[in-house]
Structure formats: structure tokens, C-alpha cells
Amino acid sequence: MAFPESGHERLLGLMNAPDPLIWDYAKQNGFSLASNDWDFLDPSTRLGSPPKVILQSMGNCGTSEVATALLAGVEAVADFVNSSDCDRLVLRR
């Protein structure tokens, strides 16, 4: 499994939760956020990390394309999460 300690908002009981609640949950529980929702860029810029933000800049695409991009970037994502130098990572197709 590429991201064994990951979670999904649906599995964490956060489906349809407002962004600030998701942000706080990620911060309190040591998660990085992976999203195609650029609304997470603003708090990342204002508040810094944690949580770190992985923005999926891939336009309108399906879950399998997002999964493929994350798996293709698994080393970059791991390096990013473990780095103290960066707060945001942008993944593109």
C-alpha cells in the first residue's frame, strides 16, 4: 500500500464537512491534506503548516486519474510530507 496511514473524509466521518473543520481535523491528527479544492491554498498561505497541502491541479477528472497521479508521485509526496522546507505541493497530470 503506497499511503498506509492515509484516510478519506468519508471514512473519517467528514464527508460534506466545511473546509475549516477538515483543516482542523488534519492539523490535530497529523494528516496532510490532498485535495483538488484550491480553497485549501488560502489557509495554507495564511496559517502555514501543519497541515501540509497537496493540491491536485488536474482539472475535472475521475478518481482513477487522481489515484494514478498520486501513485506516480509517491516518492515526491513522501519527500514532501517528510520535509520541513515546504507547506504545499502541486501535482499535475
Task: Give the pLDDT score at 18.
Answer: 94
* 46-56 residue pLDDT tens: 888 899 999 88
Q: With a cut of 50, which residues of the chain have pLDDT below it? A: none
Task: Give the pLDDT score at 16.
Answer: 92
Task: Give the pLDDT score at 21.
Answer: 94
Task: Give the pLDDT score at 39.
Answer: 85
Task: Give the pLDDT score at 63.
Answer: 81
Q: What is the 3-state secondary structure (H, E, C) of 10-76?
A: CCCCCCCCCHHHHHHHHHHHCCCEEECCHHHHHHHHHHCCCCCEEEEECCCCCHHHHHHHHHHCHHH
